[in-house]
Chains A and B, each alone.
Chain A
């Protein structure tokens, strides 16, 4: 269960968070986007951000090491951060990223330190935030430190971790069941192994213009490239990691010139299979969290959920 706060409490709570670290929250301008926020009044409590919160753990482009005198010096980021107002889909997106970046065999240091230093506070959705949301089909987990549900000017705070519990000790307990959103859009089939044949994906692939917005905006798309960038004197530089996309033609290019996924169809199908099938086969949860961004913002309005729902042998 959890704690109950009124509007005044929530504002105080938000101000208390400011003393712990940098608070980032959704802000509404042209789009909704996560930004460092100082004033409670700036926080936008509606809608979902266009860009997911992955940017605070896996920036679009960043230096992971400095190159100095022919050697590498690893970079790090120890900033204390509170993400205030992430939606459950995005929080589950972090669960997906954690599976890979916190893999005990090869943990990713920068990512692990950022995760360690971040407090995750979510806003529950009372209803779907867009027509493309289908999170209800994706069995989302309670993956957060705290999750705030608004109901008649009261804020019900569910506790997801000890880190979260410690932040709200002074508030009163509640003991009611909170409603979860019901999505109109549904993904009806999450086992698509039998539909690998090209004919099932032709129509969608024909529309794709390889703009890569789907992968950029997806909360769980993490594929990256690594490249060195040097100053003009070739003495100082950085090794950079930047988000890459399986929709890019060179993504599977090997030395010697061969490209494994050499058509749009193969690339599009790979993304869908990775999101719905491959990841789940390995990690038991699908890679897709049902946020709907890849369809809503697709240049060609390709709707892979529709496509899957209509798959017939």
Chain B
């Protein structure tokens, strides 16, 4: 099973539905990879990683099921069981010298945070960095302190679907697809990394294609039911791909024909 026990260095509540864990570990994933997190007696869940190249690992956990709920109850200095990292992440090394566009929706922004950490470490290897992030409300914005920094440092665009309370980021209200549609983006020498709910990714791909991006410039992260994480249990299979092992990150032209599965 290869599970190992690691200490939790800190926890915080990111939003009403998300908890953030910093874990002391030697697991060093590539951005876009995931780890399997186990809670003895409750079960296991795949969690995408949100940091890169540190002597700790950051995980943002959207509390949606029993395992994630139990993870959410953990405190600083508790132990957590991990195995991984698994899967194919974003091939950032291959993107050296290029412009990078990041498009994320909701908790899909977490893996892209790992990408940003990587790009910051290797800033001179990359050209323009542009971001389009969408959240449900300003209260649902992940990594709020960092967002304030990203706003200043990069071509940063963010929208919220609605803003019932205050809007400290003064960001436009609407879907992320709208700000993407309205913004001019250089297509030459650019790679686009997308992560978010399937409908959002589909809509964004449509817009990007209108902007004359080629399928082979787009990188999507697929979501599937994952049990083993290592290409055996069959749950994550999508038209012959093991999303856990062949993905979760795919070049769009590899997977664009996968419809219902």
Residues on A facing B (Cβ under 8 Å): 64-65, 67, 70-72, 74, 100-101, 103, 105-106, 108-109, 222-228, 230, 234, 237, 239, 244, 246, 251-256, 260-262, 266, 270, 273-274, 277-278, 281-282
Contacts and interface: CB of A to CB of B under 8 A. Distances in A.
Contacts of A67: 40-41
B223 A228 contact: no
B238 interface: yes
B41 A228 contact: yes
Interface residues of B, number: 33
A24 B225 CA distance: 36
Nearest to B38: A72
A226 to B, nearest CB: 6
A156 B20 CA distance: 65
8 contacts: A65-B3, A103-B231, A222-B232, A223-B234, A226-B44, A251-B225, A252-B261, A255-B64
B43 A227 contact: yes
Given A253-B225, A273-B240, A281-B240, A230 B235 contact: no
Contacts of A237: 40-41
A261 B261 contact: yes
Contacts of A105: 230
B233 A244 contact: yes
A71 B5 contact: yes
B148 to A, nearest CB: 29
A261 B260 contact: yes
Contacts of B223: 254
A226 B234 contact: no
B234 A246 contact: yes
A260 B239 contact: no
A282 B234 contact: no
Nearest to A273: B240
Given A103-B230, A223-B234, 6 more contacts: A72-B3, A223-B233, A228-B42, A254-B223, A262-B260, A273-B240
Contact of A270 (B225, B230, B261): B261
Contacts of A277: 240
B164 interface: no
Given A64-B1, A223-B234, A252-B235, A260 B41 contact: no
Interface in B208-252: 223-225, 227-228, 230-235, 237-240
Given A226-B43, A234-B41, A251 B235 contact: yes
B224 A282 contact: no
Given A228-B41, A261-B260, A266-B261, A252 B225 contact: yes
Contacts of B1: 64-65, 72, 74, 109, 239
B22 interface: no
A116 to B, nearest CB: 18
Nearest to A225: B227
A226 B233 contact: yes
Interface in B27-84: 38, 40-45, 62, 64-65, 68, 79, 81
Contacts of A72: 1, 3, 38, 40, 81
Contacts of A274: 234, 237, 240
Nearest to A250: B225
Contact of A225 (B38, B42, B233, B260): B233
Nearest to A74: B1
A95 B42 CA distance: 34
A96 to B, nearest CB: 12
Contact of A226 (B41, B64, B227, B239): B227
A255 B65 contact: yes
Most chain A beta-carbon neighbours within 10 Å: one of B81, B228, B232: B232
A198 to B, nearest CB: 9
B187 to A, nearest CB: 31
